[in-house]
Each structure stands twice: as C-alpha cells, then as structure tokens.
Homo-oligomer: A and B are copies of this chain.
Amino acid sequence: MLKVYLSGEIHTDWRERIVAGAKGLEVAFSSPVTDHDASDDCGVAILGAEDRKVWHDRKGAQINAIRTRKGIEDADVVVVRFGEKYKQWNAAFDAGYAAALGKSLIVLHGPDHAHALKEVDAAALAVAETPEQIVDVLRYVQTGALPAAADA
C-alpha cells in the first residue's frame, strides 16, 4: 500500500482526477480539509469566537495542522500542487515539512511557476504539470507499468 498525501491548491479538481486515475492501484490518499470556509473557521466554530482576526486564524490553522501533520507523517509520497492564484505559502510549507522528514516529494505546477518554485522543485523527486502525470508516476512506482505508447 502506497500512502499519498495531496497538499496544496483547493480550487480545482486535481485531487479528484488523481484519485480517479489511480483507481485499481493500491494507493491510499489523504488530504487537508478542502472546504475553504470550514478550513478558515474551524477554530472559532469549535473553540469559541475571537475578536482579532489573527487569533481567529491561529485557532483554525492549528486545528488544521493536526490533520496535515498526520497526513504528511503517515505518507510515503507527498504531492504538492501550486495553482495559478494566491500565495499558497501553506503548500510550500508542507513541501518543506515533507522534505525535512525525508518523504518522497512530487510537485505539480504549470511552467509559469517553474522559476519561482525552483527551490521546491529541487527537493522533489518528480515535477509534473498535470494530474495525469502524477497518476502515471504512482502507477509506475507501484506496478512498473509505463503509460501507453503515445507517451513512451
């Protein structure tokens, strides 16, 4: 069983495409909470409201960290996706965290971000541009099968 944590961007369907593509493989996926509002507000929703935004955010981020840490620490492979928008510093933070733990890191982003992500990519074992490439990597890593002729 290959345990894979899917970190980063939550606005497109990249996780769904990877999970669907990996059907039939012995891969167990985990990921952060991808409901943006829940993720932002979980701290105050559970532990009580805060006047200052900074503590509102702190309480939420720390509860999310319980899930994120378990996901990364249990994983064999950590995939980090950088999307087109937003700062996404939590994605880069997860990548650094995974790298320091010696996890196999795979980064997923478009070519426009290549220069800005060069330090992150330099710590990765694969840099992909599409979710389908991630699936191909996972399939190859587990079964040794390469994608069909068009790609080879």
Asked if B90 and A141 make an inter-chain contact with CB atoms under 8 angstroms apart, the answer reads no
- Chain B residues lying within 8 Å of A2, measured Cβ to Cβ, are 70
- Chain B residues lying within 8 Å of A91, measured Cβ to Cβ, are 89, 92
Chain A at the B interface: mostly helix, strand, loop or mixed?
Answer: helix
Beta-carbon contacts under 8 Å, A91-127 to B = 91-102, 104, 106, 113-127
- Chain B residues lying within 8 Å of A64, measured Cβ to Cβ, are 119
Interface range on chain A (Cβ under 8 Å from partner): 35 or more
A144 at the A/B interface (Cβ < 8 Å)?
yes
Please report the C-alpha to C-alpha distance between residue A62 and residue B123 in the assembled complex, in whole angstroms. Answer: 8
Offer 20 A-B interface pairs, CB within 8 angstroms, sorted by A: A33-B144, A38-B146, A45-B147, A46-B146, A50-B52, A51-B51, A51-B52, A57-B118, A57-B121, A57-B122, A62-B124, A67-B141, A70-B141, A87-B116, A91-B92, A92-B96, A94-B96, A96-B99, A96-B100, A99-B100
Beyond A70-B77, A96-B100, 11 additional contacts (C-beta under 8 Å) are: A2-B70, A38-B146, A41-B146, A46-B137, A57-B114, A57-B122, A63-B126, A89-B92, A90-B120, A92-B96, A96-B98
Q: Which residues of A approach B to under 8 Å, CB–CB?
A: 2, 33-35, 38, 41-42, 44-47, 50-55, 57-70, 76-77, 82, 86-102, 104, 106, 113-128, 133, 136-137, 140-142, 144-147, 151-152
